[in-house]
Every structure is written in structure tokens, then in C-alpha cells.
Structure 1
Amino acid sequence: MNKTSFLLLLVIGLLVLTDSAVGAAFRILRVFTSPWSQMQMQRVDDSVDDSLMQLIMENHDHALAEQ
């Protein structure tokens, strides 16, 4: 295989990989920007906030009980 055909195959391979990566990135972006996904993420954020607040309150109650 000569140098020119090798470089041509390399460029074509890189273009195919780049196209696949860009397509995947757009699909992922579309998933994260969909209203349903944003609602689910907000639900997770609220759940994490609630869990964190509960841990803080339990820790505070435990600290008060030790005093």
C-alpha cells in the first residue's frame, strides 16, 4: 500500500469517526434538552436536596443530643 492511499484511508476513517461522534453528541444533547429529561433531572435534584436536608437535620439533632 503506498503512502497516498494510506493517507486517503486514514482521512476517510477520521471523517467517519468524527461524523459518528458528532451524531452521538447531538443525540445526547437532544436527550438532555428534552422537556421530559429536564423534568426528570429536576425530580432527581429535588430528591437529592431532600436527602441532603434530611442528613443535615439528623446530624444537627445528633450533635444536639451529644451536648
Structure 2
Amino acid sequence: MAKQDTASLQTRIDREVALQFKELAEVRGVSEAQLLREVVTDYIENTDVDSIAEEIRRTMEKRIARLTRKK
């Protein structure tokens, strides 16, 4: 990997999922780190952020409306 501005992600997942992920990386002939970079990058590139933002906005408007009606 070329030297670049990077950040680290850390999370916990089920042991069985981690083992399956490791196996998938081995089958593809890449490191787990490389496979994770690919998965995260693909997810971000293929996610419609505007749709998610609109959904969040509608959800928050509904919650605010319910809270203001309760008063």
C-alpha cells in the first residue's frame, strides 16, 4: 500500500463471522486488512448517501412531531 493519509478502524464482531471473513480473505489470496479495505470502500461507493440523509430527516421530523404533540 502506498504511503498515504490513513486512519484505523476497530470493531468487534462474532467469532464465527471473523473466522469466515479470514477464510474468504485466504481464498481470495489477500490479507484480512486488504479485504476489509475493499469491502468498506465498495460499501461507501455504492451507498446513496442522499437517500440515507433524507430517510434520517423524515424519521427525525416524525419524532419531533410526536414529542411536540405530547406536550
Give the structure-2-normalised TM-score.
Answer: 0.42
Larger proportion of helix: 1
- Structure showing greater radius of gyration is 1
Q: Which has the higher contact order (CA 8 A, sep 6+)?
A: 2
Give the structure-1-normalised TM-score.
Answer: 0.44
